[in-house]
A and B are shown apart, each in its own frame.
Chain A
């Protein structure tokens, strides 16, 4: 769709403050009287706390408060409360290097740091376990008081995979592994808490889901929800790491209550790498079977996910990857078994794609192995098995629109697949991978709805109050575009307000590629309500009928048969409504997902997803035979957008995601020494930069969507889902080396080349 605004290349509304450095992030916040908190963290991966002495810290001049487990509510907490396993502070034992033990607040950050060093903790070290499959053995040390270290299990099953494999012409089996990688937000996790004497707790923080974090803070502190307020500002990256409340929120809150002053706690970069959580590392045993014509018949997988020391988004991650596993191709026989396993490491959490990048790596690499066994071109096997629009899949999912075949065509063509595949020249090769991802978040809460409000000021400026949480993805720009489109305004005339749970309607936050879909739909409904009121007002002012009024260029224009054209500016119109009609223009709009009432999550689990977006990525690599360096020469990322709301934002999202995928595939890894992250800075945690950026040819395939605003699908996560598989397949095409474990480092490649 091309409107006046929608579909245009519109610069984001926060681009100038961000590019010039004037945008203020939570990390920049300084409140009058604010003091600084610091958390004492466990130096050991697994140990009993024998004793704790804070007297020397308390005696240090400048220290305002020292708190331990004795000072805070000690009910167990988790994102899924039925899996609650973590207290604010550890009182009996610590379970990873970084576990919270105590905290101080002091007049400045240096004093707080000094005070932390004065706290004496006597630990009794316990045996620790760091690998999931080791943690599952009978004699592994138990991290929590339960029978085994397996924390949660999920199974999905349909058809009869065992029998189906029997009748397959070709079957491939393998084990694939992905590493735990860090989100690497440029703005570290931080907060300022102010608990005022009247009992109101305000927390300024960089949260992707302020309303659910507000509930989490109230829950863990055992206080009424109404007493908690979460305030956001510009946010320096989220990627899933800032969905669930960090313990520094309740800790800063209790320090503030104790001292009567606002308390700031901010991670150092080393703390961020050690405690801000990671992507779930997956170990995946996958088996796929096909007929000799290439049609997929059966697929099974056993996923062992590395939980770290406590529960977080594990069930959501395992469930989501199971849905995408069952939806990418229409495979009639599926078995999915997933589990999260405790280890003595920092917690894992959501990370762009919720387990889908991990499992897509395994499945799409295995599909290449299968194609080779059959003797089929990797592009061809994907084309044969691609879903089509309107298709109802064996797993129960319905894909009303599906652009996968177009994605495959353009991705293959733009990488020059026919000329470059199997060229066996100079260690160069091409690779392909498909993916499916939610285009609309998920319905896991059993509730998926939100509101927004619009008011028109007497100068004609339109303000929209939206819960859309801007974390860099551009949702505020999209909301402003929708309002401007509907009300015939330019972008400057629309203001977006969204920073405070006291102000914004309830919403589940920015995750799962849902913001444009959910918040955008609410903005669209609200703008359309506003349009009706504005047109009715204009009709009165211009003495005509509403059907003759149009909104364009900031004006209400009346055009009708046999009447002279008349117009009035939005400012005059709003002032008229206020002064003459005694009816200031303000409206509310709402969007609610029509979740089926008879829906059973176990059997119809794919209905968790309202809309799907498909994509194909291809790439070309060249491997340096002397150093093992994999040079990424080009990426083609063909993604289904439904309707492209804003090409600039869509391209930016996908380019950034491909780069994140390149890091995930070739570079990023946490190096541990007895559970301690040793590469806890950007010097040794390697992240791709401009220096690694290949040409990324982003192709946006517009297929529409029956539910998205203007037919748009969410695209926030999709860009990195197939990247690792496309790269690994290109590496195989270039070198004959089949890589099944990430990251694929230069040293690994060189050794593999030499062994060949």
Chain B
């Protein structure tokens, strides 16, 4: 492995300054489960890494019924998965995070890393996008908030500028009467997603009409993508067989699957359809039962 500098600033500002001064040649080190592995495999060769371990407050998590969930980017995935607020208010997020890597990886990897690594197959971004999450980005002086669905620009690429660090992940308070689910297709129990389908439906319990729907897909495009064409078909309708079939037909419209060593384009598209149908069926069943299992 190529040698690199290791720095561990104790303030957010210092971390941003070091990254800015390095002009992109240094990388943020969070859990290291991607960065170190990629460096070892010579996929990356950073001049230095900047650990955020000593920056205070980056592992905090809090929930406010009005404002929503605030997650520090350095919070370990296993802590996200088991946090009370996540389990009770955002169960589909807890479920999605639980599918990432192995227990050992989740004990090390962070939610900020899973997002900023910008892998198209990452499991947390699609469900966070469905929940309408955004990220707060700081450069030591200013802050900006970016919707997660606008955050990714390509595989491993984001809107982050040199010297910027994700400071917080903000998930809006869940509205009343929702159903959310993340379904992951893989080759084995321990795998990255071949396809991930995240769905969040807001419904009217009285007439069972879906008032809002967000579907986001993993591993079928250079970035996690919203399945907008499909969403439009469903919104304003009841989930019946006809609507579900129409929606499934359009489930791949916003995707552009590829064939790689993991599987083929065709199987990926099949999985998107299959799991979209499953997610919609689950939503229908939930809504029909008045929001209980």
**A residues adjacent to B (C-beta < 8 A):** 110, 113, 270, 626-627, 667, 671, 678-679, 681, 683-684, 686-692, 745-747, 750
A684 touches B261 (CB 8 A): yes
1/0 per residue, CB under 8 A from A, across B246-270: the answer is 0000000000000001111001001
Partner pick for A750 among B262, B267, B277, CB 8 A cutoff: B267
- From known contacts A270-B41, A679-B261, A684-B261, infer whether A689 and B188 are also in contact, taking CB-CB under 8 Å: yes
A683 touches B192 (CB 8 A): yes
* Interface check B189, CB cutoff 8 A: yes
6 closest residue pairs by CB, A with B: A691-B189, A626-B274, A747-B267, A686-B188, A689-B190, A686-B187
Partner pick for B264 among A683, A690, A747, CB 8 A cutoff: A747
Q: Residues of A contacting B185 with CB < 8 Å? A: 627
CA distance A626 to B278 in the complex (A): 10
- Identify which of residues 163-192 in chain B touch chain A, using a CB-to-CB cut-off of 8 Å: 185, 187-192
Partner pick for B187 among A110, A667, A681, CB 8 A cutoff: A667
Task: Return B118 CB to nearest CB of chain A, in Å.
Answer: 17
A746 touches B187 (CB 8 A): yes
Chain B residue at minimum C-beta to C-beta distance from A679: B261
Q: Residues of B contacting A627 with CB < 8 Å? A: 185, 271, 274
Chain B residue at minimum C-beta to C-beta distance from A673: B261
Task: Return B271 CB to nearest CB of chain A, in Å.
Answer: 6
B189 touches A692 (CB 8 A): yes
Q: Residues of B contacting A110 with CB < 8 Å? A: 1-3
Q: Residues of B contacting A113 with CB < 8 Å? A: 1
Q: Residues of A contacting B261 with CB < 8 Å? A: 671, 678-679, 684
Between A and B, 6 residue pairs with Cβ closer than 8 Å are A110-B3, A686-B191, A688-B188, A690-B189, A746-B187, A747-B263
A691 touches B271 (CB 8 A): no
Q: Residues of B contacting A626 with CB < 8 Å? A: 274, 277-278
Q: Beyond A686-B188, A689-B188, list 4 extra A-B contacts (CB 8 Å).
A: A683-B192, A686-B187, A745-B187, A750-B267
Q: Residues of A contacting B2 with CB < 8 Å? A: 110
Q: Residues of A contacting B274 with CB < 8 Å? A: 626-627
Q: Residues of A contacting B264 with CB < 8 Å? A: 747
Task: Return B40 CB to nearest CB of chain A, in Å.
Answer: 8
Task: Return A692 CB to nearest CB of chain B, in Å.
Answer: 5
- Identify which of residues 189-205 in chain B touch chain A, using a CB-to-CB cut-off of 8 Å: 189-192
- Identify which of residues 205-220 in chain B touch chain A, using a CB-to-CB cut-off of 8 Å: none
1/0 per residue, CB under 8 A from A, across B119-160: the answer is 000000000000000000000000000000000000000000
B41 touches A667 (CB 8 A): no
**B residues adjacent to A (C-beta < 8 A):** 1-3, 41, 102, 185, 187-192, 261-264, 267, 270-271, 274, 277-278
Partner pick for B189 among A681, A689, A746, A747, CB 8 A cutoff: A689
CA distance A638 to B102 in the complex (A): 32
Q: Residues of A contacting B3 with CB < 8 Å? A: 110
B189 touches A750 (CB 8 A): no
Task: Return A679 CB to nearest CB of chain B, in Å.
Answer: 6
CA distance A617 to B43 in the complex (A): 44
CA distance A681 to B190 in the complex (A): 13
Q: Residues of B contacting A687 with CB < 8 Å? A: 188
CA distance A667 to B262 in the complex (A): 12
Q: Residues of A contacting B263 with CB < 8 Å? A: 747
CA distance A626 to B281 in the complex (A): 14
Q: Residues of B contacting A690 with CB < 8 Å? A: 189
A684 touches B262 (CB 8 A): yes
Task: Return B36 CB to nearest CB of chain A, in Å.
Answer: 14
- From known contacts A110-B2, A110-B3, infer whether A691 and B267 are also in contact, taking CB-CB under 8 Å: no
Q: Residues of B contacting A683 with CB < 8 Å? A: 192
Task: Return B164 CB to nearest CB of chain A, in Å.
Answer: 29
CA distance A110 to B41 in the complex (A): 12
Q: Residues of B contacting A750 with CB < 8 Å? A: 267, 270
CA distance A692 to B191 in the complex (A): 12
Q: Residues of B contacting A678 with CB < 8 Å? A: 261
Q: Residues of B contacting A689 with CB < 8 Å? A: 102, 188-190
CA distance A671 to B264 in the complex (A): 13
A691 touches B188 (CB 8 A): yes
Task: Return A666 CB to nearest CB of chain B, in Å.
Answer: 9
Q: Residues of A contacting B188 with CB < 8 Å? A: 667, 686-689, 691-692
Q: Residues of A contacting B271 with CB < 8 Å? A: 627
Chain A residue at minimum C-beta to C-beta distance from B192: A683
Q: Residues of B contacting A681 with CB < 8 Å? A: 41
Q: Residues of B contacting A686 with CB < 8 Å? A: 187-188, 191
Task: Return A180 CB to nearest CB of chain B, in Å.
Answer: 16
Chain A residue at minimum C-beta to C-beta distance from B278: A626
CA distance A626 to B188 in the complex (A): 16
Task: Return B5 CB to nearest CB of chain A, in Å.
Answer: 15
Most buried by B among A679, A687, A691: A691
CA distance A531 to B191 in the complex (A): 55
Chain B residue at minimum C-beta to C-beta distance from A663: B188
Q: Residues of B contacting A679 with CB < 8 Å? A: 261
Task: Return B3 CB to nearest CB of chain A, in Å.
Answer: 7
Chain A residue at minimum C-beta to C-beta distance from B102: A689
Task: Return A475 CB to nearest CB of chain B, in Å.
Answer: 30
Chain A residue at minimum C-beta to C-beta distance from B271: A627
Task: Return B92 CB to nearest CB of chain A, in Å.
Answer: 20
Q: Residues of A contacting B278 with CB < 8 Å? A: 626
CA distance A750 to B2 in the complex (A): 44
Task: Return B139 CB to nearest CB of chain A, in Å.
Answer: 33
CA distance A512 to B274 in the complex (A): 45
Task: Return A575 CB to nearest CB of chain B, in Å.
Answer: 50
Task: Return A411 CB to nearest CB of chain B, in Å.
Answer: 26
CA distance A686 to B278 in the complex (A): 25
Task: Return B282 CB to nearest CB of chain A, in Å.
Answer: 13
Q: Residues of B contacting A684 with CB < 8 Å? A: 261-262
Task: Return B43 CB to nearest CB of chain A, in Å.
Answer: 11
Task: Return B258 CB to nearest CB of chain A, in Å.
Answer: 15
CA distance A688 to B267 in the complex (A): 21
CA distance A270 to B41 in the complex (A): 9
CA distance A747 to B191 in the complex (A): 15
CA distance A504 to B33 in the complex (A): 43
Q: Residues of B contacting A688 with CB < 8 Å? A: 188-189
Chain A residue at minimum C-beta to C-beta distance from B2: A110
CA distance A113 to B277 in the complex (A): 50
Chain A residue at minimum C-beta to C-beta distance from B191: A686
CA distance A627 to B197 in the complex (A): 14
Q: Residues of B contacting A691 with CB < 8 Å? A: 188-190
Q: Residues of A contacting B1 with CB < 8 Å? A: 110, 113
Task: Return A667 CB to nearest CB of chain B, in Å.
Answer: 6
CA distance A690 to B102 in the complex (A): 11
CA distance A306 to B187 in the complex (A): 26
CA distance A600 to B41 in the complex (A): 53
Task: Return A338 CB to nearest CB of chain B, in Å.
Answer: 32
Chain A residue at minimum C-beta to C-beta distance from B277: A626
Task: Return A150 CB to nearest CB of chain B, in Å.
Answer: 31
Chain A residue at minimum C-beta to C-beta distance from B42: A113
Task: Return B224 CB to nearest CB of chain A, in Å.
Answer: 19
Task: Return A672 CB to nearest CB of chain B, in Å.
Answer: 10
Q: Residues of A contacting B102 with CB < 8 Å? A: 689
CA distance A221 to B262 in the complex (A): 43
Chain B residue at minimum C-beta to C-beta distance from A693: B189
CA distance A312 to B203 in the complex (A): 65
Q: Residues of A contacting B262 with CB < 8 Å? A: 684
CA distance A110 to B278 in the complex (A): 49
Most buried by A among B102, B188, B261, B278: B188
Task: Return B273 CB to nearest CB of chain A, in Å.
Answer: 9
Chain A residue at minimum C-beta to C-beta distance from B270: A750
Chain B residue at minimum C-beta to C-beta distance from A113: B1
CA distance A358 to B102 in the complex (A): 31
Q: Residues of A contacting B41 with CB < 8 Å? A: 270, 681
Q: Residues of B contacting A692 with CB < 8 Å? A: 188-189
Task: Return A694 CB to nearest CB of chain B, in Å.
Answer: 12
Q: Residues of A contacting B189 with CB < 8 Å? A: 688-692
Task: Return A132 CB to nearest CB of chain B, in Å.
Answer: 22
CA distance A248 to B67 in the complex (A): 61
